[in-house]
Copies of this chain bind each other. A is one copy, B any other.
């Protein structure tokens, strides 16, 4: 589905034992997203979702020390229960983001949610502009972080 370039992209692919509809619900409902999006002991303390192409995807992550990190991106594709794409390279309404020199990397995320006999085949593909951006994101713990967040998502979905 996605043109992958291992030099610039990162992928987390897993089969999880919850239904696609629940994965979608966890990704697209602010009150639920806040409960899984950031691996503990970090928290997600803010979330705004305007679920349409060009709409706002805003989160605020909080470190264990209480420092807050807001992020605002723009949704690009919405296919209910199947596919969600957003980017940090654009602000809501598709305006190009003003990326200062202090921004280590910017990415576009493609979340693919496919029915699987065990539940859902989940693929998160993260596209960076450069190899350097991919390296920095990987070094920050992409695989562990996105994997731990997915574990939290699955645990939440199992309570539904």
Contacts and interface: CB of A to CB of B under 8 A. Distances in A.
Contacts of A133: 96
Contact of A89 (B96, B127, B128, B130): B96
Nearest to A5: B95
A95 B8 CA distance: 9
Given A53-B77, A77-B53, A130 B98 contact: yes
A88 B94 CA distance: 11
Given A53-B77, A76-B53, A77-B53, A94 B98 contact: no
A87 B96 contact: yes
Contact of A90 (B2, B90, B110): B90
A111 interface: no
A106 B98 CA distance: 10
Interface in A1-54: 2-3, 8, 53-54
Contact of A107 (B96, B99, B107): B96
A157 interface: no
Nearest to A77: B53
Contacts of A93: 2-3, 127
Given A77-B53, A77-B54, A108 B130 contact: no
A65 to B, nearest CB: 29
B98 A129 contact: yes
Interface of A: 2-3, 8, 53-54, 76-77, 85, 87-91, 93-99, 106-108, 110, 127-130, 133
